[in-house]
Chains A and B, each alone.
Chain A
Amino acid sequence: DIVMTQSPLSLSVTLGQPASISCRSSQSLLYSDGNTYLIWFHQRPGQSPRRLIYQVSNRDSRVPDRFSGSGSDTDFTLEISRVEAEDVGVYYCMQDTLWPNTFGQGTKLEIK
């Protein structure tokens, strides 16, 4: 199975400041069709996960443009340009290039 490793596991950020989360995979996530199937989710306490970013850098509709995804191969990053109060919660990366899909451990974001 592909192992997904996130860092840091927790993040304390001042409102309005940027935040960055890294996600590394144990093998390349580039699929034979040329796409890279790396997704970022946000989960607030007591809620279902919400997809933010798919295929590395495509932002879902209604996701604020302060969220962006980047990376390739085995190294990926989620960036929040200016953290807002509603951004608290846990962020997960997940690969669905190769079954079984696998998640990172999660990164807990809190406001300083």
Chain B
Amino acid sequence: QVQLVQSGPEVKKPGASVKVSCKASGYTFTNYGVTWVRQAPGQGLEWMGWVSGFNGNTNYAQKLQGRVTMTRDTSTTTAYMELRSLTSDDTAVYYCARETEDYWGQGTLVIVSS
């Protein structure tokens, strides 16, 4: 069965970076990209970007350009999302999903606090 398992919660100081992983299983990893979505406390869903499982091409939300990098490792079928120069506005649950949005990870809480 398809599963996406994300890394655990993180607490970071303002200005730091965070890297969240998303381990995929149950399907051919290179046939699908991975989408990243975040949700600030009590807020709606925000699309962050996408990384191709096939060739690693990416597409990022404009507001995150320059601060976010999405990568994948086909040998471990894992996708990664790194966000730099964190501020309190980046406090959120971060989700990965298969690009068709039919399967989602469990979410990773990232708290940015001094």
27 contacts between A and B (CB under 8 A): A39-B101, A41-B45, A41-B101, A48-B95, A49-B37, A49-B45, A49-B95, A49-B97, A49-B101, A49-B104, A50-B104, A51-B101, A51-B102, A54-B100, A54-B101, A54-B102, A90-B44, A92-B44, A99-B59, A100-B49, A100-B61, A100-B62, A102-B47, A103-B44, A103-B45, A104-B44, A106-B44
Point out the residues of chain B lying under 8 angstroms from A103, CB to CB. 44-47
Q: Determine whether the beta carbon of B106 is less than 8 Å from that of A96.
A: no
B interface, size bucket:
20 to 34
Tier of interface size on chain A: 20 to 34
0 or 1 for each of B81-100: is its CB under 8 Å from A? (1 = yes): 00000000000000101001
In the complex, chain A residues whose CB is within 8 Å of the CB of B101: 39, 41, 49, 51, 54, 94, 96
